[in-house]
A and B are shown apart, each in its own frame.
Chain A
Amino acid sequence: MKLSDLQNTRWTLNHPNLGTGPVSTQAYSSPEYFELIRDKVFKKTWICTGKRIDEIPNPGDYFLEETEITGTSVIIIRGLDNKIRGFHNTCLHRGTQLVFESYGNVKGKLTCIYHGWAYGLNGKNMVITEREMFFDLETMEKDLIPVSVDTWSGIIFMNLDPSPKETLLQHIGPEVDDLFGAYPFETTSVQVSYRADLDCSWPVLRDSQIDGYHLKYLHKRSAPNFMESEESPNRHAYDFKLLGKHGFGSFYGNRAKIGADLSKVAPVASLASKVGQTLASDTARRVELSQWAKGVNPTRSTDWFFDILYIFPNAHFIFLGYQQYIIHKMMPAKVVDKSSWNARYFAPPMPEGGLVDRWAAEYMKYSLRDLWREDGNTTMGAQRSINSGVFKKMYLQDQEILIRHAEKVLEEAVRF
Chain B
Amino acid sequence: MKLVKSLPPMFAELEPFLDWVLPSESERRRYRESLEMDEITEFYDAMLKRAPEILDHFRAAETEAGGPDLVDASTRTLFTLMLSFSEASLSVEMHRSPTVPDGMPGDIWKPEHETPGWKNKPKIKLVPRVTDLMNVIKVTAA
Mark A residues whose CB is within 8 Å of B: 53-58, 61, 63-64, 101-105, 153-154, 186-187, 189-190, 192-198, 218, 221-222, 224, 265-269, 271-272, 275, 342, 349, 352-356, 358-359, 362-363, 365-367, 369-370, 372-374, 376-377, 379-380
Contact = CB atoms under 8 A, between A and B. Distances in A.
Interface of B: 25, 29, 44, 48, 51-52, 55, 58-59, 61-62, 68, 71, 75, 79, 82-83, 85-87, 89-90, 93-96, 100-106, 108-113, 115-118, 120-129
A193 B93 contact: no
A186 B122 contact: no
Contacts of A194: 109-112
Q: What is the predominant secondary structure among interface residues of chain B facing chain A?
A: helix
Contact of A268 (B86, B105, B118, B126): B86
Contact of B104 (A56, A267, A349, A373): A373
B94 A370 contact: yes
A354 B122 contact: no
Nearest to A187: B126
A198 B55 CA distance: 38
A275 B29 CA distance: 23
A104 B115 CA distance: 13
Contacts of B82: 359
Contacts of B52: 271
Given A186-B127, A194-B111, A218 B48 contact: no
B110 A195 contact: yes
Nearest to B88: A268
B122 A57 contact: yes
B94 A186 contact: no
Given A105-B122, A189-B126, A265 B79 contact: no
A399 to B, nearest CB: 20
Contacts of A53: 127
Contacts, number: 166
A101 B118 CA distance: 9
B100 A354 contact: no
Contacts of A195: 109-110, 112
Given A193-B113, A196-B108, A363-B86, A101 B103 contact: no
A184 B92 CA distance: 36
A84 B59 CA distance: 41
A103 B127 contact: no
Given A355-B79, A356-B59, A266 B124 contact: no
Contact of B90 (A101, A352, A358, A370): A370
A86 to B, nearest CB: 16
Nearest to A61: B122
A358 B83 CA distance: 10
Contacts of A104: 117, 120, 122
B48 A221 contact: no
Contacts of A153: 129
B128 to A, nearest CB: 6
Contacts of A268: 44, 48, 51, 85-86, 89, 93
Given A268-B48, A269-B94, A363-B86, A103 B117 contact: yes
A308 B44 CA distance: 34
A377 B104 contact: yes
**Residue among A192, A272, A342, A376 with max Cβ neighbours from chain B (10 Å):** A376
Nearest to A267: B48
Contact of A101 (B29, B110, B120): B120
A101 B126 contact: no
A346 B53 CA distance: 29
Contact of A221 (B58, B96, B112, B116): B96
Given A195-B109, A268-B86, A356-B55, A370 B122 contact: no
Contacts of B94: 221-222, 224, 266, 269, 367, 370
A354 B69 CA distance: 9
Nearest to B47: A268
14 contacts: A57-B125, A105-B120, A105-B122, A186-B126, A186-B127, A192-B113, A218-B102, A266-B93, A271-B55, A275-B55, A359-B55, A373-B104, A374-B104, A376-B104
A198 B110 CA distance: 12
Nearest to B110: A195
Contacts of A58: 122, 125
Contact of B124 (A54, A105, A342, A370): A54
Nearest to B126: A54
Contacts of A189: 124, 126
Contacts of A54: 124-127
